A = this chain, B = another copy of it.
């Protein structure tokens, strides 16, 4: 009766836990630069996928365009990103990293890499690839956010 077995947490919860822990670490790294973890993440997405619009960026992050607008404004104000109209679709405002944004990412990257290394420290060398495979399948299962659609 009072003998309740620990009841293992769900996988959903474990994922949240790891994300929370990594966000805390990321925040620590990016705070000195005046960036939040989410802003840093958005910058890395723009680095990997140039010429995204705010709307696409929002879908990629499973949030509404209005939510993303707040962050885009912050990054614009700090001069880390830039934007211009797409001549082929004049509704679209295409985002791109500025040189300042690129420099900031380059400066932060080593710390982030170290954080990831620390996360994986206890695991064998084969684990990262395995974890990647599993996570990508999970993302797929939950409905991948229309990404990686090259020109």
Contact = CB atoms under 8 A, between A and B. Distances in A.
B22 A142 contact: yes
B139 A17 contact: yes
Nearest to A22: B12
Given A48-B7, A119-B142, A132 B14 contact: yes
B20 A18 contact: no
Contact of A13 (B44, B121, B145): B44
Contacts of A134: 123, 127, 130-131, 134
Interface residues of A, number: 56
Contacts of A135: 11, 14-15, 17-18
Given A12-B26, A115-B142, A118-B141, 17 more contacts: A10-B113, A11-B135, A13-B45, A14-B135, A15-B22, A16-B19, A16-B23, A17-B145, A21-B142, A21-B143, A23-B62, A25-B142, A118-B142, A120-B137, A123-B134, A123-B141, A131-B134
Contacts of A131: 11, 131, 134, 138
A9 interface: yes
A61 B16 CA distance: 9
